[in-house]
A and B are shown apart, each in its own frame.
Chain A
Amino acid sequence: MTSITLFGLCAAVLIGLGVYGLIVNPQPLRKILAFNLIGSGVFLFFGMIARRGAASGLGGDPVPQALVITGIVVAFSATALAVALLLRLDAAGGPSGLDDAVDGES
């Protein structure tokens, strides 16, 4: 097994862990955290693919590497928005920020 495959498998497990956490953890902040885990797993997967594409002196395919950078910044803005929304909900007196127990309207 090479290092590249190893990190590929690592990414696969990270994504699984993140999905599990997103579903199971009741606290919204933990869901946001889990989303970040999924995101980093996806980026790592892309990094693995980039590394596989190494050729002619470059350690990796620069196209996916560049996309990962864009992706990381986008994921950060998503996190910032989600956290702000959560804090605002908390300040507005939402009951414990529980977001999944409000199906009662239907």
Chain B
Amino acid sequence: MSLLIDAWTVLAVFSGVFFFLAGTVGLLRFPDALTRLHALTKADNLGLGLIVFGLLPQAVDVWMALKLIVIWLLVLIAGAVVSQRVARVARAQESGQ
């Protein structure tokens, strides 16, 4: 049983790590701010989300599990605001050029 849980954790966490990789590569390689923004949100939402999913079975009590989920939600919220705002800044930047 515990082996199965550990396997799930490792699988999910490393998939999450993969999305961080995708996000970073996108942030570095994509040509303009808006597409880079697109890459970034992948890392935010999916990368952290998968890591949280992977760690959930490792939680020692229900509070820890709850905290993990709240953390993910908070990062999602922050991500949403930043995306909206950054998109606006980026557009202003591009139209100014």
Direct contact of A and B (CB under 8 A): no
